[in-house]
Amino acid sequence: MRELSYAEILAGDDTSCRVLEVTTHRAQVALGTAEIEPKAPPWADYATPEAAEKSIQRCEEARRARIHKRENGDRGARPTRSEVPTLGMRIARELGFEFKRRSGDGPKQAMHTTVISGRSVSEDPTSLIVLYRSHLGSCGDLFERLIRRRDPELPSLILQGDLSTTNLVTDPELKKRFDIRQIACASHARRPFALYEDEDPVHCEHMLHLFLGLAIHEERLDAIGRNQENVLAVRGGESRELWDEILELAKSMTECWSKATTLGTAARYIINHFDALTAYLDDARLEPTNNLRERMLRMEKLIEGSSMFRKSLEGRFVLDIVRTILQTAVAAGVPVHEYLVSVLRANEEEVTSNPSRFVPRAWLTEIMASQIVENSAPSS
C-alpha cells in the first residue's frame, strides 16, 4: 500500500457488491423493535482504524495471557481464535472499513468494492500496483486513506475518476498538505449520450461521432507507438479540435435540454468539467478514460449475476487480496505460482518488516539479480 500511495497518478472506480453477512445484519436491524437493543454489526471490531488497532491489541493480550498460563503449568491453555487478528482487523487498521457520510448523517450503509491502480515508477508499466478493497465506503474514501500514507516530499498527485462527489478528496488537511489535481473520464462523459440517443438522435449521434474520433486518435497512437512527442502532437492538434467541437455542441444542447433531464445534465457535465476532461491533452502520461478500472470491476457484476457473492466479510477480504495479488503480478510479468510459493515460504518477520521487497515487481527484480550472480559465478 505504501508503494501505491507514492504513485504520481492514481486512478480508481467502485461498484456495489453484496455480502450476505452484511445484508442479513441490515435486515435484522430493520425488523428489530425499539425494546430490543440492536446487535453489534459483524464489523464492529474493525469499523475504524482505531477500533481495528484495539482489537488487534486484545488478540495479542489474549495470546500473551495463554503463554503465561502455559509457562505456569496450565497444559489446558490452548491457542484459540481470539488470539489471531482477522483479515478484517489487519486491513482496516490501515485502510478503515466503515466511513461516515460526507453530509454528516451517520455512517455509510452501502457495500462497495473499490479498485485503485497506480505505477510506483511512472515510466515503467510493469510497476503497476492494483488494489481491491471491499468496504462500507467509496473510491474517494480509499483515495484519502492512501494519501494519508503518502510521503510529504511527494506533494503533487493526480487522481482520475468519474468526478462524482463520493470520488473526490475533500479532507481539508490533505488538500493543504498535497497539490491534488482531479481529472475526469471521457467515457463517463460520453455514456449518457449513448444510453439516451433515442431522445435526441441528431445531437446525440453528433456527440457520439466526436467521441469516436477521440478514440480513433488513441487507437492510432497505440498502433504506431507512443512517445512524448507524438502523443502531445496528436492530442494537442486533432484531439483538441474535437474537444472544442464537443464543448460547443454541449452548450447548444443546454438550450433545449434543462438540467432536470439526463441529457441536460450530461451536457452541463462536459461544460462544468471541461478542464478536467481535457487534462490528458497536455500530459502524455494521462489516460483519456478510466476504462481499465471499470474493466477490473466488471467481474463484480458477473459474480452478483451468478449469485456467487460472498457469504462472509472475511471471504470477501480474501477475494480482494487474491485479486490484488493476481492483477499486480500479471502487470509485472511475474510467474504467479512461483511468486506465491516464494512469498509464503519467506520469513514472516522479514515480510512484515520490509513489505516493499515482496511487491511482485521488486520480487522479480531480486530473483533475476540473484540468477545473474549465480550464472556469473565461476564453476568449481
- Domain coordinates in residue numbering, the chain: 2-42+98-183+290-326, 49-88, 186-282, 343-371
**Per-residue pLDDT at 34 exceeds 50:** no
**Per-residue pLDDT at 35 exceeds 60:** no
Q: How far apart are CA 96 and CA 112, in angstroms?
A: 13
At 352 the pLDDT is 86
Residues 6+ apart with CB under 8 A from 218: 288
Mean pLDDT for the chain overall: 92
> 72-94 burial string, b = 16+ CB within 10 Å, else e?
eeeeeeeeeeebebbbbbebbbe
**Per-residue pLDDT at 366 exceeds 80:** yes
At 41 the pLDDT is 94
At 299 the pLDDT is 85
**Per-residue pLDDT at 85 exceeds 70:** yes
Task: Give pLDDT tens digits for 264-302.
Answer: 999 999 999 999 999 999 999 999 999 999 999 998 888
At 172 the pLDDT is 93
Q: Concatenated DSSP letters for 293-315?
A: HHHHHHHHHHHHHTT--BSSHHH
Mean pLDDT of 216-229: 94
**Per-residue pLDDT at 33 exceeds 60:** no
At 197 the pLDDT is 96
**Per-residue pLDDT at 223 exceeds 90:** yes
Q: How far apart are CA 138 and CA 122, in angstroms?
A: 25
At 309 the pLDDT is 64
**Per-residue pLDDT at 38 exceeds 90:** no
pLDDT band at 177 (very low <50, low <70, confident <90, very high): very high
Task: Give pLDDT tens digits for 293-328.
Answer: 999 999 888 887 776 667 899 999 999 999 999 999
User: Which residue's entry shows cell 486484545?
Assistant: 58
Task: Give pLDDT tens digits for 349-365.
Answer: 998 888 888 999 999 99
pLDDT band at 379 (very low <50, low <70, confident <90, very high): low
Share of residues in the chain with pLDDT > 70 (%): 97
Mean pLDDT of 213-231: 94
Task: Give pLDDT tens digits for 109-153.
Answer: 999 999 999 999 888 999 999 999 999 999 999 999 999 999 999
For 105-224, where are the E strands, in sequence order?
Answer: 112-119, 128-135, 156-160, 179-183
**Per-residue pLDDT at 31 exceeds 90:** no
